[in-house]
Amino acid sequence: MSELGPDLIIGAVSIFTAGITMAIGSIAPALGEGKAVAEALNAIAQQPDEAPTLTRTLFVGMAMVESTAIYCLVVSMILIFANPFWEYFIGKAGG
């Protein structure tokens, strides 16, 4: 059994990077969406008749903002569950 071997370092780096990527990646989408929602409520209060157009624009726009959070979640999940570097070293450690 290899102690402090390459699999350990790859594992530790993957865990840390996965968490930090998700954490930092959640900051801006949440702020951006909060701002969009706040402005949408303000706009609906000004023009109640346009509420359907406004909420539709809001949700399409928020989906686009959310996409950057999704990119980070995808990178984070790849690093935890489908990490090619990890699989290479597991294979080598088992080989």
Q: Is 53 in the site for a second copy (CB under 8 A)?
A: yes
Q: How far apart are CA 53 and CA 32, in angstroms?
A: 20
Q: How far apart are CA 18 and CA 12, in angstroms?
A: 10
Note whether 5 and 93 are within 8 A (CB).
Answer: yes
Q: How far apart are CA 19 and CA 11, in angstroms?
A: 12
Q: x/- site string to a second copy, residues 63 to 82, per CB under 8 A?
A: -xxxxxx-xxx-xx-xxxx-
Least Cβ distance, residue 32 to a second copy (angstroms):
2
Q: Is 87 in the site for a second copy (CB under 8 A)?
A: no
Q: Is 46 in the site for a second copy (CB under 8 A)?
A: yes
Least Cβ distance, residue 71 to a second copy (angstroms):
5
